[in-house]
């Protein structure tokens, strides 16, 4: 298996991967709950289609805040790492994916001016080759055709998200090279690397307009006012239709009860409006070793022709 989970165990919720001719998707995330807020409906859609899906979680989320007031209790705070591990177990079962931990320690989000130094030994402070080694091992073991991760800014500037981007790119580029990371398995070269574009402005505008048209108070107006209108280096290249799996996504989110308030932002926009206004999850194709035409509606465009012969 990839490495030890926070409590010293590894996890898989479906049989071992790598069936003949099977497509394989790996999603690399910084913390438990990230997999349910970014790309969850996409993963559920591909699981339903018979694709083997593995979520790799870099840290245990030990330094995360409790964001659901109903879960803000001393006994939960005292054992937050174990609680978040249990939440991850429920979420992966809901999504139908395999999931493994890299075993690094959450860096926390530094706040203040100037921000305090990151804690010694945390994920974000690991040398790149140390942080990437278990992910290279995971890539060589699972043999994904497609990898999902964050952009250079981490999607948002949490140090663990930025580090997650760095190790994902390193693993994508190194896993196929037999001279790099010796002792981590037989080389395997993934074919495509994508960045999540979940919170792109076009989507937020569409959801905001749908709620206003329905006579509902939109939570997106203030967000849009704060949105950076500068040019984005990461255009949306790929929109995956997955509206039929939005409910599964939401159930996986709710499994992370310390992080997700059921009365909060995530669930303000009704599912029927979401399905009508924006029925996709969106990505930027950052690397591709296969021919594909943009825009895409399938993460495996150009891959299926090579694998499913």
Neighbours of 82 (CB within 10 A): 14
C-alpha–C-alpha distance, residues 246 and 268, integer Å: 14
Give the chain's largest Cα–Cα span: 60
The contacts of residue 55 (CB under 8 Å, 6+ apart) are 26, 27, 29, 35, 43, 92, 95, 97, 98, 99, 100
Annotated binding site: 31, 34, 161
DSSP line for 85-126: HHHHHHHHHHHT-EEEEEEEPP-----SSSPPPPPTT-GGGS
C-alpha–C-alpha distance, residues 217 and 237, integer Å: 31
Q: Is 228 left (phi over 0), alpha (psi -120 to 50) or beta?
A: beta
∠ CA 35-130-198, rounded to 5°: 20
Annotated binding site for Zn(2+): 31, 34, 161
Is the preceding omega at residue 190 within 30 degrees of 0, hence cis? no
Is the preceding omega at residue 114 within 30 degrees of 0, hence cis? yes
Q: What is the 3-state secondary structure (H, E, C) of 170-217?
A: HHHHHCCCCCCCCCCCCCCCCCEEEEECCCCHHHHHHHHHHHHHCCCC
C-alpha–C-alpha distance, residues 290 and 224, integer Å: 36
């Amino acid at each position: 298996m990839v490495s030890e989970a926070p409590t010293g165990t590894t996890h898989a919720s479906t049989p071992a991967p790598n069936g003949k001719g099977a497509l394989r998707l790996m999603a690399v995330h910084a913390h438990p709950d990230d997999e349910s807020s970014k790309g969850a409906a996409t993963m559920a859609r591909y699981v339903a289609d018979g694709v083997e899906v593995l979520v790799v979680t870099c840290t245990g989320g030990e330094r995360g805040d409790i964001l659901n007031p109903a879960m803000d209790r001393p006994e939960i705070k005292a054992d937050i790492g174990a609680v978040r591990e249990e939440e991850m177990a429920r979420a992966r079962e809901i999504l139908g994916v395999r999931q493994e931990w890299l075993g690094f320690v959450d860096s926390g989000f530094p706040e203040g001016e100037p921000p305090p130094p990151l804690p010694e030994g945390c994920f974000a402070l690991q040398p790149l080759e140390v942080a990437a080694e278990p992910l290279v091992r995971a890539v060589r073991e699972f043999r994904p055709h497609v990898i999902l991760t964050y952009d250079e800014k981490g999607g948002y500037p949490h140090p663990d998200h930025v580090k997650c981007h760095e190790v994902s790119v390193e693993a994508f580029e190194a896993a196929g090279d037999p001279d790099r990371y010796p002792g981590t398995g037989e080389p395997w070269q993934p074919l495509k690397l994508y960045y999540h574009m979940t919170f792109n402005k076009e989507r937020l505008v569409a959801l905001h307009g749908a709620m206003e048209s329905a006579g509902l108070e939109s939570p997106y107006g203030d967000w849009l006012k704060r949105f950076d209108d500068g040019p984005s280096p990461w255009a949306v290249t790929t929109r995956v239709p997955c509206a039929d799996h939005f409910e599964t996504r939401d159930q996986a989110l709710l499994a992370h009860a310390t992080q997700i308030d059921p009365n909060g932002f995530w669930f303000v926009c009704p599912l029927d409006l979401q399905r009508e206004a924006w029925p996709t999850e969106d990505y930027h194709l950052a690397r591709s070793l296969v021919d594909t035409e943009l825009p895409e509606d399938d993460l495996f465009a150009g891959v299926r022709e090579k694998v499913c012969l």
